[in-house]
Amino acid sequence: MRQLAGYACVFAVTVALAPPVAAHHGFGTFLMDKDVEITGTVTKLDFVNPHSWLYLDVTRPDGKVVAMRCEMRSATTLRRSGWSPDLFKAGRKITITGSPDRDDPYSCYVSTVVFDDGSKLDRYGQVAAPASLAKGQRPEKLANGQPNISGDWAQEQVVMTDPRGQIGTLVPLSQVEEIRAAGDLAARGSIPGARNTEQAAAQVAAARSGAAGARGAAPGANANRGGGPARRGGGPPADLTAAGRAALAARPATSRYATSCVFTSIVAEWGGEPVNRVTQRGDTITIQYGRLGVVRTIHLGLTEHPKNITPSVTGHSIGRWDGDVLVVDTVGFAPGMLNRNLPHSEQLHVVERFSLDPKTRQLRREYTARDPRFLAKPVTGSNAMDVSGVRYGAERCEDLTIDEDVKLGPRS
């Protein structure tokens, strides 16, 4: 703690001189090359996506109390790591080490939490041992002969090589201990032998888009810092037609705060950190997305789509079993975004193929998205999901990075 002590004193003086402020700042304003330590009493927890916030009353050296808050990972990610709101009950005394905000003297970024019983959790720490990635005693077939794809599914978590979240890059959870043991917390690049290689490659690509060697938020988070206009780059997406380019150019510039709690598409939202639930029942299969709890129905009893479909973000899906592969055909989309960078029109047509890998017990999805109006060529991809170690839950989503309703600073 000696390294933190000097800066903690400076921080205390800053707090003493600063006036009360509203919580209004951007994610990129944390001074990740500075350290801070605060001790206080928990007053509230916003256990939300995309980032949770912990609120504290901190007593200054002069005996006066100031209200502060510190940013943590998303509720979904924390829950999958074994964290729960019970850890942060009001009245509990904790010590936080992390990084201060460059503009707001009453906010910080959590790197490590030390509880009143002496236990400690790093930002990327696991409260319990992570569930086996091939866990679960599941029947391979249902009574009707269909492959059993029902259940709660999630992609393997990715975590920072530095458990405090200050240096390094994102790697699959199953490999992080080996990397940490090697002492190479700042390792970058692909991870040989990674399970779910498509996701690992995507995370590495995201990491490379960030500032090399930057301390702080996971590499790739720098793509849109400070809440400015949403970035439309992020690598070369599928070629757009002239109409697609025009549609992209015509989209209004939006901040990441405006898009952080928006369901993008069935292509983009099957994957990442959320836990998704699949339910097989009679002639329907439903998918409940952890992202905002959006529900999608796949109709097995139909051979063609209805003529009059009300356009929606999930479209209209019909499915059929081709042996042990579920083939899902979806049309009837409202115009929107296939991913953060790629627009689609009402002509979007998505075909997905779901299958169980007999070796890994993963649920694999391959997809092809065609849009003759906006896409000059099909968009294809694949990913794999494991049986989730935690149950499905649609977490509250509210970006509180800018929160005009919360007053921080000296208590009156």
Based on the fold, state whether residues 382 and 248 are members of the same structural domain: yes
pTM over 0.95: no
In a domain, 395, yes or no: no
* 120 and 169 belong to one structural domain: no
* Residue 305 to residue 312: CA distance in whole angstroms: 14
Q: Distance between CA 341 and CA 235 in Å, rounded?
A: 9
Place of tokens 């849109």: 224
DSSP 165-202: SSSS-EEEHHHHHHHHHTT-TT--S--TT-SSHHHHHH
The answer to whether residues 246 and 382 belong to one domain is yes
Helix or strand run (H / E) with residue 13: helix 2-17
Q: What pLDDT is recorded for position 131? A: 56
Domain region containing 222? 154-227
- 198 and 256 fall within a common domain: no
Residues 102 and 180 in one domain: no
Quick: pLDDT tens for 150-191: 999 999 988 888 899 887 788 888 888 888 888 766 654 433
Q: How many CB atoms sit inside 10 A of residue 322's CB? A: 10
Residues 11 and 100 in one domain: yes
Q: How confident is the model at residue 136 (pLDDT cuts 50, 70, 90)?
A: low
- Residues 313-342 pLDDT 10s: 999 999 999 999 999 999 999 999 999 889
Residue 393: per-residue pLDDT: 85
Contact 133, 361 (CB under 8 A): no
**Mean pLDDT, rounded, for 129-155:** 79
User: What integer pLDDT is reported at residue 189 of this predicted model?
Assistant: 44
The strand pairing partners of 153, in sequence order, are 276, 387
pLDDT digits (tens, 9 = 90+) for 75-125: 999 999 999 999 999 999 999 999 998 888 999 999 999 999 999 999 999
| pLDDT above 60 (res 209) | no
Q: Mean pLDDT throughout 393-399?
A: 85
pLDDT confidence tier of residue 140, bands split at 50, 70 and 90: confident
Do 65 and 57 meet the contact criterion of CB atoms below 8 Å apart? yes
